[in-house]
Amino acid sequence: MVVRPLFIRRVSRGPSLYTLSFWLLCVSNFLFSASFSMMIPELPEYLTQLGGREYVGLIIALFTLTAGVSRPFSGKLTDTVGRVPVMAFGSLVCFICGFLYPYLITVWGFLTLRLIHGFSTGTKPTATSAYVADVVPATRRGEAMGMLGLFTAMGMSLGPAIGSWLADSYSMNVMFWTSSAFALLSIGILLRMPETLVNTQPFRFSLLRLKKNEIFDKQALPPFIVLLLQSFSSGVILTVISTVSSSLGITNKGLFFTVYTVASLAVRLAFSRSSDRHGRVPVLLISTVVLAISMGMLMLTNSTVWFWTAAIFYGMSWGMNSPTVQAWTADLSDEQTRGRAMATMYIALEAGIGIGAVVAGWLLNHVAGKAGLDASFGMAGMLAVVAVIYLVFFQRKTVRQPIAD
């Protein structure tokens, strides 16, 4: 007899997951992701105009630093105070920061605000993933995460294009204030959603004291390792893709994000249940290979054809990666500590993005021309290959040998 692990078991179609709460969560996520992503393509040039070109790598790094640091706290609060309050707090941070950007016009004021802004993605996604795992059948988590990711990706697709259009047609301030308005709408939706945590506690500052076992969930270690290696590429993309766009004569620096997100949406729509049917690890193997290929394409980019093709492959990889990693984490976690497990997974995401951004920013400023860009993309591709090797090893280790009756 062969004992098959959970993540490669075929499942049948279960109860409906498309409830009102689920759709409200999807719309809220769309607004939230559009809010913080619409400014990303314009921030490197904006900081340069403020006199901080040498700090371009910190735009993403500072954001992900506080996001990563806040993950253990958001995980604990998600498991104690509740899912909805933590989600609302994340959107509130986006609302406040978007409103304040036009008034903090020094380099250090801007960087401080980026540091604070990171608390938004350090809290809301953690609680959102736990909420989804609460309200959908366990046998359809991959599909649910894919649908939620579809709305998130739509926000991240439209956000940068809208932000660049607002900055070009009106001003940076209008873009910042629009970002703030999107976050406010996200909060309004969240306040109408029912709480799914059964035994909630009122917030008190003592909850912010973390024990050692509340910082990291060991059950989420495999997704942590894979996502850490994969997300280095995201830090690179967020930091240098606007430079590559400009070098190719592409004026709207948000279009790369639009193209890769459209590709991601197409994959999510076509293969939303692939990891539920075929297993988390097999899908991650395919998606990570595609990610490595996209980084190789960006190294070879010397025309817009290569550039847009790389964007499509990059989007395809994350269209499979994101929902599968989230579902895998939920599979491996305990219901009582699901928030902690999700926080652990997101720590890997923030750490990978932050490290990738710092490395890419340093190379951009210290290695002249295309060589610095190629080095960034090359490192991202190599780390994706390491993730593939780990997944192959993990899969072989966890598939048990036949047991004699």
Q: What is the spatial distance between Cα 211 and Cα 217, in angstroms, rounded to a whole number? A: 12
User: Is the pLDDT assigned to residue 400 strictly greater than 70?
Assistant: no
Q: What is the spatial distance between Cα 108 and Cα 358, in angstroms, rounded to a whole number? A: 17
User: Is the pLDDT assigned to residue 380 strictly greater than 50?
Assistant: yes
Q: What is the spatial distance between Cα 295 and Cα 88, in angstroms, rounded to a whole number? A: 35
Nearest to 291 by CA among 229, 336, 358, 347: 229
In our burial notation (b when 16+ CB lie closer than 10 A, e otherwise), range 137-157 reads eebbbbbbbbbbbbbbbbbbb
When pLDDT is cut at 50, 70 and 90, the band that residue 292 belongs to is very high
Q: Residue 232 has what pLDDT?
A: 95
Q: What is the spatial distance between Cα 215 and Cα 207, in angstroms, rounded to a whole number? A: 13
In tens, the pLDDT along 130-140 reads 888 888 877 77
Dihedral angle of Cα 50, 352, 220, 84, to the nearest 10 degrees: 20
- Mean of pLDDT over the chain: 84
Report the predicted TM-score, pTM, of the whole model to 2 decimal places: 0.71
User: Helix 280-300 to helix 304-332 angle, to the nearest 10 degrees?
Assistant: 160
When pLDDT is cut at 50, 70 and 90, the band that residue 397 belongs to is low
Phi then psi dihedrals of residue 196, to 5 deg:
-105, -15
Average pLDDT estimate for 60-71: 84
Domain at 21-197+215-398: CATH architecture:
Up-down Bundle (1.20)
Q: Which residue has the tokens 């920013």?
A: 361
Hey, where are the domains in the chain? 21-197+215-398
